[in-house]
A and B are shown apart, each in its own frame.
Chain A
Amino acid sequence: QVQLVQSGAEVKKPGASVKVSCKASGYTFTSYYMHWVRQAPGQGLEWMGIINPSGGSTSYAQKFQGRVTMTRDTSTSTVYMELSSLRSEDTAVYYCARVLVAGDYADNAFDIWGQGTMVTVSS
C-alpha cells in the first residue's frame, strides 16, 4: 500500500540544524510532488515547501527561505527536509505529504501523509 514513513523524534539546541527523512513506498516515487507541512503544539497547519522528486526542483514558503533545504534520493525513494538555525518557535510536528494527482502540483490536494516527526528545540 502507499505509505510515507518518517524518521524519529529529534531534540535540538537553538542554533542547530535538523534533517527529517520521509521514505515513500507503494507507488512510483518520481511521479508525485511532495510537500512538507509543520504544526506547532496546539496550532494549525503551516506549509513549508514542495519538492519535485523527479528533477529535485523545489519551492519554499517565503517564511523559511534561507533556512530550509529539501532534497531527495531516488535510489531509496526518500525525501529530506533540513531546517537550520533552529529556534524555540520551530518546535513542531513536521509532516511530509504526497500530492493526489501525479505530475501536478498547483491545485493538487495533499493525499498521503507521513506519520509526523516531532522536533523539539530546547536549550
Chain B
Amino acid sequence: SYVLTQPPSVSVAPGQTARITCGGNNIGSKSVHWYQQKPGQAPVLVVYDDSDRPSGIPERFSGSNSGNTATLTISRVEAGDEADYYCQVWDSSSDYVFGTGTKVTVL
C-alpha cells in the first residue's frame, strides 16, 4: 500500500515561514492535495493539484511537488494558521491515501 509520511509537528514564529513535507514513493508523479483542520472542525482544502488554491484561501499558502517529497509552505504565518495539516493523494493500488498529519504550532 502507498504510504505518505509527514513530520508530527512543526513550530514557527509569527511572520515566519512554515514548511510541511509529505514524503511518498515517486510522489512527484501524483497530484497532491493539502487540508487544514482546526480542533473540533472539519478539514478545509487549502491546496489542490500540488499548487493550486481554492477560492478564499490566502496566497500565503502554496505548494510544490517533486521527486519523493511534496511541500506545503505557509508564508507570513499567523496565529490563525495553527492547525493540523494533512496531505492526500490518489493511488491506483491504494485508492485515496492521507498523510499522517502535521501539527503546526505558532510560537
Residues of A within 8 A of B (CB): 35, 37, 44-47, 50, 59, 61, 95, 97, 100, 106-111, 113-116
Interface segment out of the listed B10-18, B19-27, B67-75, B92-100: B92-100
Pair A106/B90 contact, Cβ less than 8 Å: yes
Chain A residues with CB below 8 A from B88, complex form: 45, 109-110
Pair A44/B98 contact, Cβ less than 8 Å: yes
Judged by a CB distance under 8 angstroms, whether B107 is at the interface is: no
Expressed in whole angstroms, the minimum distance between the Cβ of B42 and any Cβ of chain A is 4
12 A-B residue pairs with CB within 8 Å: A44-B100, A44-B101, A45-B88, A47-B96, A47-B98, A61-B95, A61-B96, A109-B33, A109-B45, A110-B35, A110-B45, A111-B45
Which 8 A-B pairs give the minimum distances between C-beta atoms? A109-B48, A109-B33, A113-B42, A47-B96, A107-B31, A45-B98, A44-B101, A107-B90
Chain A residues with CB below 8 A from B98, complex form: 37, 44-47
Expressed in whole angstroms, the minimum distance between the Cβ of B96 and any Cβ of chain A is 4
Expressed in whole angstroms, the minimum distance between the Cβ of A29 and any Cβ of chain B is 19
Chain A residues with CB below 8 A from B95, complex form: 47, 59, 61
From B40, which residue of chain A is reached at the shortest CB distance?
A116
Chain B residues with CB below 8 A from A47, complex form: 95-98
Expressed in whole angstroms, the minimum distance between the Cβ of A36 and any Cβ of chain B is 10
The digit string for B55-99, where 1 denotes a CB below 8 A from any CB of A, is: 000000000000000000000000000000010101000011111
